[in-house]
A and B are shown apart, each in its own frame.
Chain A
Amino acid sequence: MLMSAEPREISFAEVNDDVVRSLVVTGRGYYVTLATSVAVMFACFLFPWSFQLYYGLGASGINHPGVWGTYLASFIFWIGLSHSGTLLSCVLHITNSSWRKAMYRSAEAMTLFSLLVAATMVMVHVGRPWFIHWTVPYPNQMEMWPNFRSPLMFDVMAVTTYLTGSTIFIYMGTIPDFAAVRDRTAGWRHNMYVLLSLGWRGTDTEWHRLHWAYTFLAVLIVPLAVSVHSIVSWDFALSIVPALHQTIFAPYFVVGAIYSGTAGIVTVMFMLRKYMGFGHYITKLHFDNLGKLLLVLSLLWTYINVVELFTGWYSGASTEYEALGYRLFGFYAPLYWEMILFCAVAPLILISKRFRTSFVPMLVLSILINIGMYTERFLIVATSLPRQYLPDAWGHYIPSMVEISIMVGSLAMFVTLFLLFVKIFPSVSIYEVKETFPEPEPDDSPGSAAVSDNGVT
């Protein structure tokens, strides 16, 4: 059921108009935002990273034994953020839900760009990134191959597969839209869309093939996405570090990823509504449904945390006890409780429908959730490594300015990529939005389709 925020009639032609306008008409605000974002990316990401490449990882705050730091936490955060877009889009496609149709394109784009930013975080994280290509299995004169028994190699394969799959998925879904905007643009845009649309016409055969290909891709991508974040969690869980070696890590990370990603979608949807003029496509209904999803995921996340705490405490095993005590009451205790506040307590307000359908409060909550989820990833790294089996080797890990700056810069990189995306890809799916409108009847006057309260999918 589609209920507009504003009870206007939207015709098919208007959908095309709105989307083409979002692509072609560019105001000063856009250029200013893009320029700022690129400047922040250079100043906060590329510049400190080149310093680190020159000086070594000593520029960060990592030490012995806290050898993993915010770079890895950021990597996991970005991979987590990538989970909601494509995974949610696929699951909702398979379950034939209609409210996904206006927003899934941007959500999938979010996935793609999060994965790209995560890949750069890996390069920042390793000590000698100029050799990172050695993790790719290619025949070489050294006759050496990567070690496929390593959880990090599972990571490489999984993230590569997910990146490829997400790119292909978003591209396939956009082919009809490229065709639609191809007809209305000129110059370099027209040429680009001619190439990208591959000559799509929209015949019944083509729609049939697209439907099947898209569905198969969705069915393949759902288990893939679940496996990707499980594999990322196994970087930690396959170690024997006391706080990390837990079987619950795989579900914990997957739930956390979908949670964090859904909150990211809420943020992106708010921005699209406000700045790209998609107010009548992304409506209260979408925020309502996203809010319900966030509430369920928040409860799941809280449940998993409680289970982890309970089993750790009950076991009475000294290393578990120590790890939990340090996490809850040690040096990073304020961060832990902030995480609980933002991710377990604050989202309970989503029970109220009034909250779920108000745009700005949802935006604020989604940002708080993501701050809390980033803290969670940070705590996993920072409270587990400095507290292992040998107390003499305990230590402290405090991120340095370079690390914080690179995290901010990675956010700017994501924003830059997204800003470029909204001007090249139709960020709202034209044909899927039209599918949510009621079917035009033969006796209607040509050129308009009324949107009524009992709209048909």
Chain B
Amino acid sequence: MSFISDFRAKWQEYRRPGYYEEFDYAWTMTVDLDRCTGCGACVTACQAENNTPIVGEDAYAKGRQMQWIRIERYWEGEFPDIKLRFIPMLCQQCDAAPCETVCPVSATYHNQDGLNAQVYNRCIGTRSCAVYCPYEVRYFNYNNHHWDSPLDQQLNPDVSVREKGVMEKCTFCIQRIRQAKDHAKDDNRRRVRDGEVQPACVQTCSSEALVFGNRLDPESQVSASMNDPRAYHVLEELNTDPSVVYLKKVDANVG
């Protein structure tokens, strides 16, 4: 009765939450808020790497910014005791992502690397994923963009340019991950080493506040920083299982 046991095996596979038994790599990023200076270099690097459009002042004022990673600012207190807290916010690549379930045409899904992948070609622009995302890290293309010369020569050929009507968001520079995996395969089928692939923001961060790696590898840098007692997830109570770990800023004035 191998048909029955086959059927049962398949049924268990299809009923498993998240479908994957284990991820191939589980890409994780830690953001050390103690080291972050809020300089915004990560934002610029992301824009350069991923062909994110420069929307211009008017569009920005209308609230149409395109920043796959943004520096959130929170002011505390009144002058002259003002404190500014900032936190880089990017797609958390949630393992239980609310945005993935709602896309009617399956334009966003969870891939075998634990990344939340966005398929630009399939997106019809219902924008429900942006509504469902509690971190509000999904950005919509409100019109076709163009880059004034000579900025059009700066575009990254490894990344597509998205047309109007399509959602986009941080991909952990999946093009770099893909390239690193290709190199690893060419190199006698080894695995991608820790530190071999870094998204643009991680590569650019001057204070090394951003660390990227595979949390399934116990020896990676990111595994070590995840176990820091300062570690937390943003909006943890929503049970989205994010892959971005933030390390709390140590405030010398408390206590």
Residues of A within 8 A of B (CB): 55-58, 61-68, 125-129, 131-132, 134-135, 144-147, 149-153, 155-156, 235, 238-241, 385, 388-393, 395-396
Contact = CB atoms under 8 A, between A and B. Distances in A.
Given A62-B142, A239-B128, 14 more contacts: A56-B142, A56-B165, A58-B59, A58-B142, A63-B142, A64-B65, A147-B105, A150-B102, A151-B128, A152-B126, A388-B136, A389-B238, A390-B235, A392-B70
B98 interface: yes
A380 to B, nearest CB: 12
B38 interface: no
Interface string B21-65: 000000000000000000000000000000000000001001111
5 contacts: A57-B165, A65-B136, A125-B126, A126-B165, A395-B63
Interface residues of B, number: 43
Contacts of B165: 56-57, 126-128
A128 B124 contact: yes
Contact of B128 (A58, A145, A152): A152
A336 B243 CA distance: 39
A127 B64 contact: no
Contacts of B101: 147, 149-150
Contacts of A127: 123-127, 140-141, 164-167
Interface string B217-233: 00000000000000000
A240 B63 contact: no
A86 B218 CA distance: 62
Contacts of A146: 104-106
B143 A134 contact: no
Nearest to A385: B131
Given A64-B64, A149-B101, A239-B102, A126 B126 contact: yes
A57 B63 contact: no
Nearest to B128: A152
Contact of A152 (B102, B143, B144): B102
A129 B105 CA distance: 13
A132 B89 contact: no
Contact of A56 (B74, B131, B141): B141
A72 to B, nearest CB: 9
B143 A147 contact: no
B148 interface: no
B178 interface: no
Contacts of B132: 239-241
Nearest to A384: B131
Nearest to B87: A392
Contacts of B144: 56
A391 B74 contact: yes
Contacts of B124: 126-129, 131-132, 134-135
Contacts, number: 144
A240 B142 contact: no
Contacts of A152: 102-104, 126, 128
Contacts of A63: 62-64, 142
B19 to A, nearest CB: 12
Contacts of B128: 150-152, 235, 239
A70 to B, nearest CB: 14
B131 A67 contact: yes
B16 to A, nearest CB: 15
Nearest to B135: A390
Contacts of A67: 127, 130-131, 140
Interface in B161-183: 164-167
Nearest to B132: A239
Contacts of A149: 101
Given A64-B64, A150-B103, A389 B125 contact: no
Interface string B113-142: 000000000111111101110111001111
B136 A390 contact: yes
Contacts of A64: 63-65, 130, 136, 139-140
3 pairs of A and B residues whose beta carbons are closest in the complex: A127-B125, A127-B165, A63-B63
Interface in B232-255: 234-235, 238
B73 interface: yes
A58 B64 contact: yes
Contacts of B73: 392
Contacts of B98: 239-240
Contacts of A396: 63
Interface in B65-107: 65, 70, 72-74, 89, 98, 101-106
A389 B92 CA distance: 15
A254 B136 CA distance: 29
Nearest to A64: B63
Contacts of A147: 101, 103-106
A418 B104 CA distance: 32
A240 B143 contact: no
A63 B103 CA distance: 19
Contacts of A150: 101-104, 128
Nearest to B125: A127
A434 to B, nearest CB: 47
Nearest to B130: A67
A389 B140 contact: no
Contacts of A134: 105, 122, 124
A57 B142 contact: yes
A392 B98 CA distance: 20
Contacts of B59: 58
